[in-house]
Structure 1
Amino acid sequence: MAYADQKMSGNRVTALIIVALIHVLVGYALVTGLAYEAAKKVIQKVTTVDIKEEVKKEEPPPPPPKKDLPPPPIVAPPPKVNLAPPPMVTTVSEPPPAPPPMVVLPPAPAAPPPPRFTPKGAQPKGNPGNWATTNDYPSRALREEREGTTSFRVTVGPDGRVTDCSITSSSGHADLDAATCDNVRRRARFTPATDGEGNPTSGSYSNRVRWVIPKD
C-alpha cells in the first residue's frame, strides 16, 4: 500500500508541475500577443484532463515453496478379472451299447453211467524173474564182465501177449538192453486188462531186469 501511495503522490506532483508550466506558457502567450482563443482552448483542454489515479492490481501472493514430498507408493495394478462367461461345453451322451446277443448253450451231456466192473490192468502170469535168466546173459558182456539194470515198459494186447517193448531206463550197455526186450517179448505172458464192461482190452506193464554176472 505504501508503494501505491508514493506512486500516486508522484503523479499528482507531475500534474501540478504541468499545470504550472501551462500557466507560464499562457501568460507568456498573452504577453507575446498570442490569440486569446488559442490560449483558452489549450487551457480548457489541459484543465479538463482527468487525472486518474492508477490503481495497481494486487498481485497474488507467491506460491508457497515446494516441499520435498516422498515419492508416491508404487501400487500394483489390480489383476485382470475375466468377466467373460466360461465356454459352454456340450456333452453328447452316446447311446448305451446294445446288449450282446443271448447265446443258448446246449445242455451238458449226461454223465455216463458208472461202470459195472472195475477196470483192471494187465497182470503177468507166472514169475517175471524167469523172463530173463543168467543163461540169457550176452556172451560178450559176460566176457567183459559188464553189469547193469534195464527198466522196460511193454504193451499187452487183449490176448495177453506183448505187442511192444520200450526201454525206459538204460543199463548203459546196448547189448544188455536189447537182451531185456528180446527175452520179455518171447517169454512174458499176461492176463489181459479189462474195461468197465469186463471185456479184455489193451494195457501196459512196467518192470526192470538186473543183469548180474553169476558167481561160480
Structure 2
Amino acid sequence: MAYSDQKMSGGKIGAMVIVALIHVALGYAFVTGLATNFVKKAAEKLNTFDVEEPPPPPPDEPPPPPPDVPMTPPPVVSPPPIVQSPTPPVQIATVPTPPPVFVPTPVVAPPAPPAPAPPAPSVVSKAAGAKGDEASWITTDDYPPSSIRAEEEGTTAITWTINTQGRAENCRVTQSSGSSALDQAACRALTRRARYTPALDQAGNPMATTKSRRVTWRLPQN
C-alpha cells in the first residue's frame, strides 16, 4: 500500500509539471502573437507625405532718405580740467659739513719794557752819629745765664740798620759765636739801647744807613 501511494504521488507531480509547462508555452505564444498583430496594424495606418519648405520672405525695402534738415553744430564742451596729482618734493639728504676749526694764531706778546733803573742811591752827606758810648750798649751784664752755666764764649759779628728816626732795627748775625744764645743776646741788647742821630743825604734829608760790629763774649770773672 505504501509503495502504491508513493508511485501515484510521483505520477501526479510529473503531470503537474507538464501542465505548468504547457500553460507557460501558451502564454508566451499568446503574448507574442498579440504584439505582432498590433505592430502590423499600426504600420498600415501610417500615411507618408513630403514636407515642402516655405518660400523665403521678400527682401526689406531701404528706408526713405531723411529730409534736408540743417544740422545743428554740437555744443562746445570744454574739456575737463586736468587734475595734477601733487608730486612730493624731492628730498635731498644733505650731510652737514662741520665748520672749520678755528685755530687761533698765537699772538706773540710784545717784550716787556725794561724795568726802570733803580734810583741812584742817595749819597751820604753826613754819617749817623751815636748818642752815648757804643761800647756800653753790650756788656757782660747781657751774658745769658744759660751760656754762663755752659761756659760758652765766642765772638758774634752783627749788622743792623739805623732808620731815619735814628733807631736800630733789622739786626742780623753775619758770623756766629757758636752759641745761639750769645748771638741772640747781642742783637737784643743793641736794638734795645742803641740811639743815633740819623744820617743825612746831599739835600739834608734823613736817610737810612747800616752799621756793623763784633761783640766778644768772655765769661765774667768773680
TM-score with structure 2 setting the length: 0.43
TM-score with structure 1 setting the length: 0.44
When Rg is computed on C-alpha atoms for both structures, the one with the higher figure is: 2
